[in-house]
Structure 1
Amino acid sequence: MYNIAIKQEEYLTYILKDLDSNCRLEIVPERGGIVTDWTIQGQKILYLDKDRFKNPQLSVRGGIPVLFPICGNLPDNIFSYQEKTYILKQHGFARDLPWKVINQSTDKSASLTLSLTSDLETLKVYPFEFELNFTYKLLGNKLIIEQLYKNKSKEKMPFSIGFHPYFYCGDKTKLKLEIPGEEYWNKSDDKTYSFNGELDYNLEEIDIAFTQLQGQKTSFIDSKRNLTVEITYSDLFSTLVFWTLKGKDYICVEPWSSPRNAINTEEQLNYLQPNEVYSASVSIEVK
């Protein structure tokens, strides 16, 4: 049995429940359409910095932020299009804007559909008209994010999309990563390294990107908590980013459609033709 409830705290929050499997998901449309909490049989899956979440002047650190129309940062936050310069801050604007609830259902799953459309403010920093419709489905121990992207401009639209899930992890030494890539690019020194499944969690920060993926699935095992998290993504997503900070109880395993600065370099950049609609999906299953 599925259920959807609403609560009002700092923001209006939708609570999706799968009562049979005792799973619960919280989504806050007006704070970037973000998933803020996911618990399975009382065990929390996601990390959330609640103080940052309460402050609308700060980006949220936790949950599952949406990255659009870019992933990562641009040099000096600048991109150029048709001889004009635009300022786009890190990860774009979708995670900061209010999304609109356009549908909800408890038939076959607990699902909530959110929509984000371009407006005068987005056009100042990204000169394309668009519509995004994301449906979040809670089904047992699985979260499915179905996505529709529409270009409503008269010109082809470049874009990148990503998800930035913060998975709660109290002891990173108990992790085993399964990533479908043999090498990664390291942001700290702008070099490429081979990957054998091991990372040094004593570093102050790990910020690495796998851009030559060999499959549409990644996972990690947290042996301390006796759980496996498996992420499956459609072929739109060509990059996986792993990010964490020393002393913080989270890891981020992030499917991106393009690497950093793709809107300038065009590396693995995606385009939509005028009025074209594209669909994609990401699912996260906890075992």
Structure 2
Amino acid sequence: MNLQEASPLSSAASPYRISSYEDSFRIYELTDSSTESRVLVCPERGGIVIGCQLGGKELLYLDRATFLDPAANIRGGIPILFPICGQLVGGQYEWEGETYKMRNHGVARTSAWEVIEESAEGGASLTLGLKSNEETRASYPFDFELRFTYRLTEGKLSIEQSYRNLSDRGMPVQTGFHPYFATGENKKLRYSSDATKYLDYNDNAVKPFQGEVDLSALVESVALLDARTASVSFPLGEEGTVRLDYSPEFDKVVLWSVQGKPFVCVEPWTALNEALNHKEGLRILNPQEEWKLDFAISYS
């Protein structure tokens, strides 16, 4: 482990600070000393958040071995899902008469992002960008630019997102986040949401949602379908509660875990699996159109 640190960016008499260091990859650390909070971001590994400590409590699970292996899908942190969430049947989709192959959750999480801006004014913030390239076009034949600003302010992490279509034709977009929360062995959680039903991918049945979902024995995920309020909260251990707030376009919340692993994923999505094929919930951005969304995590 090489912890070679770059000069930090901070403001006089301010609790906010941003610094970076090398740990196999360049890691950016956003800190708020007034609330014992810090966020770790790795641009090179898909712009992923690999650590989120709020109010002194680390919220995220991370399988470090998968993070260190450039060929592995990272199991943990907050992977970015774009331009699909979930998987495609056969790993492929058809668009305008052509068939394309795409890996689960899309191209953003496996691409290296670029650092655009750092700031410690009024909060610790880091802006990253991702532009389409030859590799992304092989599975997603559109030109695009993404800009995400990770902002730590008063013990809360917000991720401000911009999705821009640089193509000369309509660009289909589905997006979301895949946060792994370190719940320990308890996977029978009560979720504060006004959803009334969920889709159980284990048997593809729509079932009534009464606030509690037990993921302990489930292999596939479930998805809350009809929430009217753009937020969900749930307990993390016995100490406190995690709350997710997001733009109303994130109108599906997917819950997933793996047996024997101490995490539960609570994932805001803008559409369900297979959206590039069935088109339901898919957003089509016009040429040069920009789509702005927000996602925030707090703990109390």
> Same fold by TM-score, threshold 0.5 exceeded?
yes
TM-superposed deviation, 1:105: 0.5
Separation of aligned partners in 1, 2:194 and 2:155? 23
1:240 aligns with 2:262: no
Counterpart among 175, 184, 209 of residue 170 in structure 1 = 184
Deviations 1:142-162 (A, max 9, x none): 100001110000001101111
In structure 2, relative to structure 1, the CA distance for the partners of 1:2 and 1:113 (3 Å cut) is same
SS across alignment from 2:108: coil
Alignment of 1:119-138 (within 5 A): 119-138=133-152
Separation of aligned partners in 2, 1:180 and 1:57? 39
TM-superposed deviation, 1:204: 4.4
TM-superposed deviation, 1:206: 5.1
Structure 1 spans left out of the alignment, 5+ residues: none
SS across alignment from 1:124: helix
1:277 aligns with 2:277: no
Does the 8 A contact of 2:219 with 2:257 survive in 1? Answer: yes
Q: What residue number does 1:76 align with?
A: 90
Backbone CA RMSD of aligned residues: 1.3
1:14 aligns with 2:23: no
Does the 8 A contact of 2:66 with 2:72 survive in 1? Answer: yes
Quick one: which amino acid aligns to residue 295 of structure 2? Answer: V
Quick one: which amino acid aligns to residue 43 of structure 1? Answer: K
Separation of aligned partners in 2, 1:278 and 1:149? 5
Does the 8 A contact of 1:151 with 1:275 survive in 2? Answer: yes
Deviations 1:197-228 (A, max 9, x none): 22234414351012322211111023x33111
Does the 8 A contact of 1:116 with 1:133 survive in 2? Answer: yes
Moved over 2 A (4+): 40-43, 173-176, 198-202
SS across alignment from 1:199: strand
Q: What residue number does 1:56 align with?
A: 70
1:186 aligns with 2:200: yes
Counterpart among 268, 272, 281 of residue 255 in structure 1 = 268
Quick one: which amino acid aligns to residue 169 of structure 2? Answer: E
Instruction: Give the stretch that moved more between structures: 78-87 or 174-183.
Output: 174-183
Counterpart among 50, 53, 61 of residue 39 in structure 1 = 53
Does the 8 A contact of 1:238 with 1:268 survive in 2? Answer: no
Separation of aligned partners in 1, 2:30 and 2:140? 33
Does the 8 A contact of 2:173 with 2:283 survive in 1? Answer: yes
Deviations 1:241-270 (A, max 9, x none): 011122211111100111111111111111
User: With structure 2 as the length reference, what TM-score do the two structures score?
Assistant: 0.92
In structure 2, relative to structure 1, the CA distance for the partners of 1:101 and 1:260 (3 Å cut) is same
Q: What residue number does 1:158 align with?
A: 172
Does the 8 A contact of 1:115 with 1:134 survive in 2? Answer: yes
Using the aligned pairs only, state the percent identity.
39
Does the 8 A contact of 1:151 with 1:272 survive in 2? Answer: yes
Separation of aligned partners in 1, 2:175 and 2:112? 17
Quick one: which amino acid aligns to residue 129 of structure 1? Answer: D
Deviations 1:164-222 (A, max 9, x none): 00011114267321123111111111111111122234414351012322211111023
Separation of aligned partners in 1, 2:275 and 2:114? 28
Instruction: Give the stretch that moved more between structures: 124-133 or 35-44.
Output: 35-44
TM-superposed deviation, 1:8: 0.3
SS across alignment from 1:205: coil
Alignment of 1:103-142 (within 5 A): 103-142=117-156
Deviations 1:86-135 (A, max 9, x none): 00111001101100000110011100000001011111111110000000
SS across alignment from 2:110: coil
